Amino acid sequence: MKYYSTNRKSPAVDFKEATIKGQAPDKGLYFPERIPAVDEDLIKRIGNLSNEEIAFHVIRPYTGNEIPEEKLFRIVSETVNFPMPLVQVNDSIWSLELFHGPTLAFKDVGARFMSRCLGYFLKDNEKKVTVLVATSGDTGGAVANGFYLTEGVDVVILYPSGKVSPVQEKQLTTLGGNIHALEVKGTFDDCQQMVKKAFANEEIQKKRFLTSANSINVARWLPQQFYYFFAYRQWPYKKDPPVISVPSGNFGNICAGILAQRSGLPVKHFIAACNVNDVVSGYLKTEVLKPKTAVSTWSNAMDVGNPSNFVRILEIFHHRFPDLKDHLSSCSISDEETLATINSVFREFKYLTDPHGAVGYEALNRFLKNEAAGKGIFLETAHPVKFPEAVEKATGRPVEILSSLAGLMKKDKQSVLMENDFNHFKEYLLY
Ligand SMILES: *Cc1c(COP(=O)(O)O)cnc(C)c1O
């Protein structure tokens, strides 16, 4: 499989190069030159297949012969080796729980797949690769965990001091080894700026081979298709496909879902569930995407004012607006509505959501009100325990700490405190 740049000014590359580079040199995102069709038989037999088998069949056309089948099977097995159950919440709404991985958010799948592919591709490389990543919270932990002890890879994570939750901070600062955490006295946008500047800096480029591990990387983006197949595998009404609501920030996850649908997975409709950082609803009304400065919300992993993966959604629909509008709706849920949803879903249905899942639930709930007998799924993208402050504020009860987290919380934080100044970061990377 070849991948072209959405800006169309760089040459097409294979999966290996797209994974190692991250972004195309012309600053476009890599996109597969064709969308492979899944075997009809796979859809028919999906209820009898294991998650490993499904994942292997879905991803194989994208990696082509660049990873031997046996190796690829091992990679996907390690990627999806935790449960992703579909849990019924009420008569019309199900939750696909994607938070049972090592860092309790869905990003584990993409991070694990990417780290293993990168490790495989770099096995004969002389030069070490440095993965740079800025995080508002969840990405850092998933990447740290996914890349921990991967040979030939150093990971440098920048996170905004005091702006990530205690669990998130421990997840990205306590591993040590090849994982290095920088605590920046600034915001997430400042961290991202520093990463961008590092990529553009020749001196650093000479000294280090840099790549990025956010969802623009195809090896992190493509495996997110798995969730949607796993959801359908567990869906009780195979003849009546679900509406799927995806809590969205950078739009990588929902874009992977639409890709899965395009390749033959039955899905009735997609809803991009956003917090108040919602530029896509505007796009769906006016056909113009107007980036905004992100504001902070309870669902902090979705505080994105210029979703980088949206261009890939346009690409899937060949930039045909009517086609896109048929398949995708969008809905914006405020912070007050998010907390009210956490509370009402907990009281009425005894189901506890995190703030991101609550946005997904409420967007779906509103959509289904206009659909007679409609049924759907929202993706529960993080465990409530990662956001105890919001959940406690919503329900008036403290969140029970998971026993698996007790050990983590006792570990010592290892991070380098850094001024919000690119020169300090540069010095750090050069020495
Ligand atoms: C990253 C994240 C999202 C947003 O996913 P995108 O692919 O960026 O749209 C939603 N929920 C949680 C918990 C996340 O960590």
Q: What is the mean pLDDT of residues 161-176?
A: 92
Give, in order, the Cα–Cα distances in Å from 252 to each of 19, 26, 215. Answer: 15, 20, 6
pLDDT at 220: 96
Residue to substitute in 145, 220, 226, 248 for testing ligand 1 pocket (most ligand atoms within 8 angstroms of CB): 248
The answer to the question of residue 2 being in a domain is no
**209 C-alpha to ligand 1 centroid (Å):** 27
The number of the ligand 1 atom at minimal distance from the alpha carbon of 386 is: 13
**303 C-alpha to ligand 1 centroid (Å):** 9
The answer to the question of residue 358 being in a domain is yes
Instruction: Give the separation between CA 19 and CA 36, rounded to whole angstroms.
Output: 19
Residue to substitute in 381, 385, 391 for testing ligand 1 pocket (most ligand atoms within 8 angstroms of CB): 381
Give, in order, the Cα–Cα distances in Å from 361 to each of 2, 95, 349, 430. Answer: 37, 8, 12, 46
Q: How many residues does the chain have?
A: 431
**430 C-alpha to ligand 1 centroid (Å):** 32
Matching residue, tokens 């799948």: 109
The answer to the question of residue 353 being in a domain is yes
pLDDT at 50: 97
State the chain's maximal CA–CA distance in angstroms: 63
pLDDT at 157: 97
**296 C-alpha to ligand 1 centroid (Å):** 14
Q: Would you give the DSSP letter of residue 222?
A: G
The tokens for 141 are 């932990």
The answer to the question of residue 159 being in a domain is no
The answer to the question of residue 424 being in a domain is no
Are residues 49 and 147 in contact, defined by beta-carbon separation less than 8 angstroms? no
Angle at 221 between CA 4 and CA 120, to 5 degrees: 85
User: What percentage of the chain has pLDDT greater than the value 90?
Assistant: 84
| The pairing of beta strand 2-5 with beta strand 30-32 | antiparallel
Instruction: Give the separation between CA 53 and CA 356, rounded to whole angstroms.
Output: 29
Mean pLDDT check: name the lowest of 77-81, 82-86, 90-94, 407-411: 407-411
**201 C-alpha to ligand 1 centroid (Å):** 29
Instruction: Give the separation between CA 219 and CA 62, rounded to whole angstroms.
Output: 9
- Which residues does ligand 1 sit against, CB inside 6 Å? 105, 107, 138, 215, 247-253, 301-302, 356, 381-382
Range of the domain at 334: 83-105+221-395
pLDDT at 402: 83
The answer to the question of residue 428 being in a domain is no
Residue to substitute in 29, 97, 98, 106 for testing ligand 1 pocket (most ligand atoms within 8 angstroms of CB): 106
pLDDT at 123: 84
Identified catalytic residue from 16, 107, 170, 386: 107
Give, in order, the Cα–Cα distances in Å from 406 to each of 105, 137, 142, 171. Answer: 17, 19, 18, 12
The number of the ligand 1 atom at minimal distance from the alpha carbon of 381 is: 13
Mean pLDDT check: name the lowest of 74-88, 133-147, 322-336: 133-147
What is the dihedral angle through the alpha carbons of 223, 229, 234, 236, rounded to the nearest 10 degrees? 150
Q: Is 126 a residue whose pLDDT tops 80? A: no
User: What percentage of the chain has pLDDT greater than the value 70?
Assistant: 100
The pTM of the full predicted model, rounded to 2 decimals, is: 0.94
The answer to the question of residue 311 being in a domain is yes
Model confidence at 371, pLDDT cuts 50, 70, 90, reads confident
**356 C-alpha to ligand 1 centroid (Å):** 8
Instruction: Give the separation between CA 21 and CA 12, rounded to whole angstroms.
Output: 12
Kindly report the protein residue whose alpha carbon is nearest to atom 14 of ligand 1: 301
pLDDT at 90: 98
Residue to substitute in 98, 109, 138 for testing ligand 1 pocket (most ligand atoms within 8 angstroms of CB): 138
Q: Is 137 a residue whose pLDDT tops 90? A: no
pLDDT at 419: 97
pLDDT at 223: 98
Number of structural domains found in the chain: 1
pLDDT at 214: 80
The number of the ligand 1 atom at minimal distance from the alpha carbon of 252 is: 7
Q: What is the mean pLDDT of residues 245-257?
A: 96
Of 155, 135, 121, 153, nearest in space to 18 by CA:
121
Model confidence at 404, pLDDT cuts 50, 70, 90, reads confident
**69 C-alpha to ligand 1 centroid (Å):** 30
pLDDT at 293: 86
User: CATH number, domain at 325?
Assistant: 3.40.50.1100
The number of the ligand 1 atom at minimal distance from the alpha carbon of 251 is: 9
Give, in order, the Cα–Cα distances in Å from 186 to each of 51, 167, 173, 307. Answer: 41, 19, 17, 21
The answer to the question of residue 377 being in a domain is yes
Are residues 190 and 293 in contact, defined by beta-carbon separation less than 8 angstroms? no
Mind listing the pLDDT tens digit for each residue in 37-67? 999 999 999 999 999 999 999 999 999 999 9
The number of the ligand 1 atom at minimal distance from the alpha carbon of 255 is: 7
Mean pLDDT across the chain:
94
Q: What is the mean pLDDT of residues 367-376?
A: 91
Q: What is the mean pLDDT of residues 59-83?
A: 97
Amino acid at 361: Y
Kindly report the protein residue whose alpha carbon is nearest to atom 8 of ligand 1: 250
pLDDT at 309: 93
What is the layout of strands, in order, in the sheet containing 416-418? 209-212, 129-134, 153-160, 179-184, 416-418
Catalytic site includes residue 197: no
